Amino acid sequence: MRNSFSVPYSDILFRSITKHLERRQQSDQNGTCLNGFSLYQNNCYIIGSQGSEISWADARLHCQTLGKNVDLVSIHSAFEQAYVAQQSNGVDTWIGLLNEDGNWAWVDNTPFDYHDWAPKEPSGDGSCVHLDQKRGMLWNDNNCDGNYGDHLYITQYICKASAT
């Protein structure tokens, strides 16, 4: 959908949410995070990057080694999705959503109460989920090894913990 200025509606929405995030981030400093984590809405986030292919399981393990109750990110609102996408800097990024026995669930056991799938996703081609840079950082199910053809692979992940 395009407006009269020929700017994609999704771009306008993303800019609006980004401005809201910036204002909210300035006033949302309740809590403390581990060193290197960023604070947003009482949660702490950090990007991990291997520089080379990383499997979903290895990304999760790395998050868990960072501290107690740290895991791959769960996303529960459009604002959190926009924040995570912004932090990912347009790079394919693993998130903590997993399909087990046909059911999608967050690895931190929080409710699966929000989703932001790319069109025609989930397609059933994998049990793990990443933010897909080719599809506007929307969600794409993928095989869990991080390789999805044509010499493309996932090198980044985002971890989340509750602020203290």
Q: Please answer whether residues 90 and 137 qualify as being in contact, where contact means their C-beta atoms are separated by less than 8 angstroms.
A: yes
**CA distances from residue 90 to 86, 121, 156 in whole angstroms, order as listed:** 7, 19, 10
Residue 125 confidence (pLDDT): 87
- The predicted-structure confidence for 104-138, as pLDDT tens digits, reads as follows 999 999 999 999 999 999 999 899 999 999 999 99
Examine residue 3 and state whether it is found in any structural domain, yes or no. no
Confidence at 84, pLDDT banded by 50, 70, 90? very high
- Structural domain count of the chain: 1
Kindly report the CATH number assigned to the domain that includes residue 77.
3.10.100.10
Give the C-alpha separation, 84 to 156, whole Å. 12
Examine residue 24 and state whether it is found in any structural domain, yes or no. yes
> Residue 20 is inside which H or E element, if any?
helix 9-27
Examine residue 1 and state whether it is found in any structural domain, yes or no. no
Residue 10 confidence (pLDDT): 54
Examine residue 109 and state whether it is found in any structural domain, yes or no. yes
Examine residue 134 and state whether it is found in any structural domain, yes or no. yes
Residue 131 burial (CB count, 10 A)? 29
Examine residue 2 and state whether it is found in any structural domain, yes or no. no
Cα angle vertex 90, ends 8, 151, to 5°?
115
Examine residue 67 and state whether it is found in any structural domain, yes or no. yes
Q: Which domain holds residue 144?
A: 9-162
In this prediction, residues 7-26 reach a mean pLDDT of 54
Query: Which of the pair, 145 or 45, is modelled with greater confidence?
Result: 45
